[in-house]
Amino acid sequence: MNGWTLAATVGLAGGLGTALWGVATGPLRRRVVAQNLATALACPAMLLLAQGYGRPAYVDLGLVLALLGPVGTLVFARLLADELAEDPPRAWVATWAVAALGAVTVIALCVATGPSRAMAKLLVIGALLIGGNVIASRALAGGFRRVGRG
Partner 1 sequence: MADAVIVVALLLVAATATVAVATRDPARQALVLSVLGVVLAVLFTVFQAPDVGLSQLAVGSALTPLLLMLTVRKVRRRGRDEEHER
Is 75 a binding residue for partner 1 by CB under 8 A? The answer is yes
Is 64 a binding residue for partner 1 by CB under 8 A? The answer is yes
Question: Per-residue DSSP letters for 53-103?
Answer: HT-GGGHHHHHHHHHHHHHHHHHHHHHTHHHHHHS----HHHHHHHHHHHH
Is 76 a binding residue for partner 1 by CB under 8 A? The answer is yes
Q: Which of 1, 93, 111, 147 binds partner 1 (CB under 8 A)?
A: 1
Closer to partner 1 by CB, 31 or 121: give it.
31
Side chain identity, residue 61: L
Instruction: Pick the piece of the chain touching partner 1 (CB under 8 A) from 58-66, 99-107, 119-127, 130-138.
Output: 58-66
> In this structure, what DSSP letter does residue 54 have?
T
Rg of the chain over Cα atoms, rounded to whole angstroms, equals: 16
Closer to partner 1 by CB, 16 or 101: give it.
16
CA 57 from chain center: how many Å? 20
Is 86 a binding residue for partner 1 by CB under 8 A? The answer is no
Task: Give the count of beta carbons closer than 10 Å to the beta carbon of residue 66.
Answer: 27
Q: Which residues contact 145 (CB under 8 A, 6 or more apart)?
A: 81, 85
Is 69 a binding residue for partner 1 by CB under 8 A? The answer is yes
Is 49 a binding residue for partner 1 by CB under 8 A? The answer is yes
Instruction: Pick the piece of the chain touching partner 1 (CB under 8 A) from 47-55, 97-105, 114-122, 137-145.
Output: 47-55
